[in-house]
Chains A and B, each alone.
Chain A
Amino acid sequence: MALVLSGLWIGQNVELLPVAASLNAPIYDQLFKVLFSIGSILFIGIFCLLVFSLIRFRRREGETGDGVAVEGNLQLEIFWTAIPAVVVLFVGIYSYDIYDRMGGMVPLSDPHSMHGAMMSSQASDSDVSAVIQASVLGTPPEPSERIWGGIGSGQVSAAPTLPVEVTALQFAFLFHYPQGNITSGELHVQKGQPVELRMEARDVIHAFWVPEFRLKQDIIPGQPTLLSFTPIKAGSYPIICAELCGPYHGGMRSTVVVHEPDEFATWFEKNNTATVAVAPGASSTG
């Protein structure tokens, strides 16, 4: 009992994670707390059992005898087969639920339902049909192309999504805003507005990772990939390439700046070149 309580206490009170800055990060942190509590209970329990056995049953000076010839105990063995099985089953179902709430269970190759991933998180529990209905929103990508997707996330406001095209190449991320024809080396987004990243890799596999968003997606050459998230906390967070991509892999970093809405509008207007540049290839200096 003390064991369970101490495990739960550790799970709830030891903070190991960075700031949660996207809508799916708190959901992730919930899962983390559960896993951390269960893990702590198991590990502390086994640690205590092992240390106790080693001390209590150690061979003392001058002892030569054997222990007790117990070769097994079927009931006991069934018991400790059942316990991990139940724990694992619980963890599996729970993480499935978490994954579903993060919008991960939407079929990827269907462009319509990708947008369904951005449904409101409250409706997510079991209502699959709501997902499909919600998917009518948003612009579908070209039908001929197979789009691969990562995890989606819920939506706080009814604000329209901000589409951004991400190009990953050795050794940088480039962000292009089709709405304002802005090209930037940093990702600027607005607090509370869902963002849809359409990611492509030029040369080798890269991975887009923002630890504070608890989001990671490999960007594989030849496979355009969609990733959506909703930032909920203003600030600057690192974007890190998490897949070995060559000598400067460690230096392949960028920043995502989450602005307050008015701040973002200012930034966007300052860099907006869509009205100026008519030629499709033109882009700002960012």
Chain B
Amino acid sequence: MTIALPPQTSSSPPGLQPEGWLRYLSFSLDHKVIGLQYMVAGFFFYLVGGALAGMIRVELVSPISDFLGRETYNEVLTLHGTVMIFLWIVPVVNGAFGNYLIPFYVGARDMAFPRLNAVAFWLIPPAGFLLIASYFIGGAAQSGWTAYPPLSLTTPAAGQVVWILSVLLLGGSSIFGGINFIATVLKMRRPGLKMMQLPMYCWAMLGTSILVVLSTPVLAGTLVLLSFDIIAHTGFFNPALGGNAVVYQHLFWFYSHPAVYIMVLPAFGLVSEILPVHARKPLFGYTTMVYSILAIVFLGLIVWAHHMFTSATPPWMRLFFTIATAFIAVPTGIKFFNWLATLWGGKIALNSAMLFSCAFILHFVFGGITGVALAQVPFDIHVHDTYFVVGHFHYVVYGGTVFVIFGSIYHWYPKFTGRMLNEDLGRFHFLITFIGFNLCFAPQHWLGLNGMPRRVAEYDPQFTLVNQISSVGALLMALSTLPFLINVFWSAFSGKVAGDNPWNALTPEWLTSSPPPVENWKGEAPLVTHPYGYGVPPGQIDLKAATGRELWSSGQ
């Protein structure tokens, strides 16, 4: 999607910035270019991470360790987790859509700190290639994306240190991005635009960025200490030298649980933008949506130890974190009921963007229910570190966030390129992704309940059939990227021309040309005080045009 943009017609491009497609390979300061850079780079790493996932699923077709070496298998699962989290989901759902949309939504011509923004993006490709290269030079890290010591202290040091370096760079990028989003949302709003008039994605990004800025430095500090343990043989986390391995887990999850919200809150925001447009109704309950985001941010910071219920945590701690974790279901539940209410009584266009968003609702509700169950200590003690957990978090981050990413690409592609994506291919893409995803991950819950731990290359032969079903699902998911890629490339050159506002949307990014000019609007930025002002007021339905059913549905 980077290729087919028509040449810019804007009057005065700033200074030495290149034009045409070369912009996308340059240190561009344009938030839209940076957004698309994030997206394409992220998608590249998605393909890498997907290939790694494919290797895992091929290995698990048979109950013995036969396809990959045992060390290689652990390298692959470590890289898969790290790539998918730090190089695909976090950069795309924050960096790509955040950079592209936030300046439009606040009525600004760019982000608050354009150079910091470009630096944040350009940290990602070197960090990513460093991480992947570590596999070819001396071997990658083998201790999982969690890198628990003492295992991470005893596996080959070079790979682990490169892993730490790479995650530090990506964390830095994430912090730069977070600072930029907070400054942009709070300080760059067009005069006259109030906070409570912002599109929901701004609130989601504000909440996410607060989490990023508060928790990522903790991860960075922890990893620096871990690298001291590896390189300088200090003993922070090494029990053999008097350190404490559990302290690492606390510090690690202090970031890595909020990281889940860093991955899903922006997705919540994006869905809140997509649903009203395609259901032709206002977003239901704007104010409660805002407060529930803030509640999720607050609660998200105080639930980390639910990842550690089996690692010698005292009972009071287990109790506290159970309650805090379960209570996240309340603000999250509000959001889901509000989305369902947004759909209720709408004029829903069943296009790809809508289908992906609705599948997100289903998957996330499922992942949320298993999540509340996992928060209960006695339940968790049985299924912790099993495939139940693998199934649970893939429902949350893939069935949730990745489905939203696809839905968002179908929704905003006309804005990015000026051309529509093909709907038939899009629905086909949705169908096989949906089937493949559920086939792959739903059976994993059963595997976990019945005794298959995670991160194993070999397992009890009684689980063979279910693992093979799961692998077939993974194969379908891999195949499902083909119609998507074909669609994206084909539509970039010969898709239907979209026009400025193909969805008749009201949010500010649609009130300019497609693709937008360098500083977003030719004239002054529009003041959008009702970003979700769709729909006819209940009293004004045209009685001639309306059918009895419509009158019934509006409660008259």
Contacts and interface: CB of A to CB of B under 8 A. Distances in A.
A225 B311 CA distance: 10
Interface in B332-372: 333-334, 336-338, 340-341, 343-350, 358, 361-362, 365-366, 369-370, 372
B340 A49 contact: yes
Interface stretch (B29-37, B105-113, B114-122, B238-246): B238-246
A166 interface: no
B379 A220 contact: no
7 contacts: A28-B382, A42-B369, A57-B279, A66-B536, A71-B532, A204-B148, A221-B245
A50 B361 contact: yes
A16 B446 contact: yes
Contacts of B372: 35, 39, 88, 91
B310 A57 contact: no
A250 B456 contact: yes
A192 interface: no
A222 B239 contact: yes
Interface stretch (A133-141, A177-185, A234-242, A269-277): A234-242
A162 interface: no
A72 B291 CA distance: 14
Interface in B445-495: 445-446, 449-451, 453-460
Interface in A47-84: 47, 49-50, 53-54, 56-59, 63, 65-73, 76-77, 80-81, 83-84
A254 to B, nearest CB: 13
A57 B382 contact: no
Which bracket fits the contact residues of A?
35 or more
Contacts of A204: 148, 150-151, 154
B245 A109 contact: no
B347 A80 contact: no
Nearest to A76: B341
Interface stretch (A119-127, A210-218, A258-266): A210-218
B186 interface: no
A107 B534 contact: no
A249 to B, nearest CB: 6
Interface string A192-215: 000000000001110101011011
A65 B347 contact: yes
A17 interface: yes
A180 B210 CA distance: 59
Interface residues on B, range: 35 or more
Given A28-B379, A65-B545, A57 B553 contact: yes
Contacts of B377: 95, 99, 104
B378 A220 contact: no
A286 to B, nearest CB: 23
A216 B376 contact: no
Given A96-B319, A151-B381, A46 B327 contact: no
B8 to A, nearest CB: 33
Contacts of B438: none
B451 A18 contact: yes
A10 B129 CA distance: 48
A26 interface: no
Interface string B319-330: 100110011011
Contacts of A149: 312
B233 interface: no
